[in-house]
């Protein structure tokens, strides 16, 4: 039987924004994976949140669903997840569901801060601020309306070589590159959570500053496996292939490193595959 996974944004469907349609390449990749018999590994649902003002009917009741994993793309400017939504996602993880939660620069996606356990892995400009004052500095000096955290790993459409933290986590098997982004967010393992550790780091193309790309949470009393990712741009169509287009407010010139480099394409898709399999407890081999 295929494992049911949900790809979910925190905004209602909006054409000129990071709605779920802008993650179609990821959806197609995961839906196209086959097991040794040729059967689909995953049944993938991709959706935006319901209109604002009330709890989302699916994510607020996610623990009662038959989904095995949630990929949450926090693409809102903060506040789009209601307390009921956050409680539903937290209950889903507590009953063993796997979660990948990602956001972006500054306060983009800060509504995830109240998610149980994994929310504490995400540091923003004004919410759950990184206690290290040395991290409160602008790294990307080019897009001047965006403040920290905004680590510059490269242009959208280019790739970055990652540093794998030892011991290498299973989701990084066969992974050397991830998509680059001009202003990535800030993630770290929450202090006192023995189930969490940083598994991959990047390095700023501007300052040389190292920063965390992903934090993995093993299954524990807090719930199922989880990944906190520094930016949703690691999974967006535009970063995998800039020819797919982007919202009008994206002004930075894209690169073409991924399009020109099959090894980077393979690495990026391997990471998405590995994360999907690991979150639902399926073998990665």
CATH of the domain at 177: 3.40.50.880
Helix residue spans in the chain (DSSP H) = 24-31, 83-94, 237-240, 262-279
Distance of alpha carbon 179 from alpha carbon 235, whole angstroms: 8
| Tokens 């000129």 found at | 16
In a domain, 30, yes or no: yes
Distance of alpha carbon 201 from alpha carbon 198, whole angstroms: 8
How do residues 43-55 score in pLDDT, each as one tens digit? 999 999 999 999 9
| Percentage of the chain lying above the pLDDT 70 cut | 100
| Percentage of the chain lying above the pLDDT 90 cut | 96
Q: Considering only CA atoms, which of 189, 224, 3 is closest in space to residue 98? A: 224
How do residues 241-274 score in pLDDT, each as one tens digit? 999 999 999 999 999 999 999 999 999 999 999 9
CA of residue 27 relative to chain centroid, distance: 14
In a domain, 152, yes or no: yes
Does the structure show a pLDDT above 90 at 116?
no
Does the structure show a pLDDT above 90 at 175?
yes
In a domain, 255, yes or no: yes
In a domain, 261, yes or no: yes
pLDDT of 62 reads: 98
Quote the domain boundaries for residue 232.
3-279
Confidence band of 285 (pLDDT split at 50, 70, 90): confident
pLDDT of 3 reads: 98
In a domain, 265, yes or no: yes
How do residues 1-25 score in pLDDT, each as one tens digit? 999 999 999 999 999 999 999 999 9
What is the total count of domains within the chain?
A: 1
In a domain, 118, yes or no: yes
The residue among 222 and 254 whose pLDDT is bigger is 254
In a domain, 285, yes or no: no
How do residues 132-162 score in pLDDT, each as one tens digit? 999 999 999 999 999 999 999 999 999 999 9
């Amino acid at each position: 039987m295929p494992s049911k996974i949900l790809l979910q944004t925190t905004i209602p469907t909006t054409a000129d924004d990071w709605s779920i349609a802008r993650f179609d390449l990821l959806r197609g990749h995961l839906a196209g994976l086959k097991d040794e018999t040729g059967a689909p590994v995953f049944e993938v649902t991709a959706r935006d949140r319901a209109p604002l003002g009330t709890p989302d009917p699916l994510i607020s009741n996610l623990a009662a669903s038959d989904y095995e994993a949630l990929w949450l793309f926090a693409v809102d400017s903060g506040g789009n997840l209601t307390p009921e939504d956050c409680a539903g996602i937290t209950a889903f993880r507590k009953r063993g569901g796997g979660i990948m939660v990602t956001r972006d620069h500054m306060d983009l996606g800060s509504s995830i801060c109240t998610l149980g356990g994994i929310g504490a892995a995400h540091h923003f400009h004004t919410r759950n601020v990184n206690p290290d004052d040395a991290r409160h500095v602008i790294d990307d000096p080019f897009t001047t309306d965006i403040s920290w955290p905004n680590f510059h790993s490269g242009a959208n459409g280019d790739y970055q070589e990652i540093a794998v933290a030892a011991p290498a986590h299973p989701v990084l098997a066969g992974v050397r590159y991830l998509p680059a982004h001009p202003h990535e967010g800030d993630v770290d393992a929450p202090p006192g959570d023995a189930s969490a550790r940083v598994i991959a780091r990047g390095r700023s193309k501007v300052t040389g500053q190292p920063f965390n790309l992903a934090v993995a949470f093993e299954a524990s009393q807090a719930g199922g496996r989880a990944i906190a990712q520094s930016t949703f741009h690691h999974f967006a169509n535009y970063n995998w292939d800039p020819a797919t287009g982007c919202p009008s407010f994206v002004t930075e010139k894209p690169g073409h490193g991924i399009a020109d480099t099959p090894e980077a394409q393979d690495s990026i898709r391997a990471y998405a595959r590995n994360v999907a399999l690991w979150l639902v407890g399926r073998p990665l081999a």
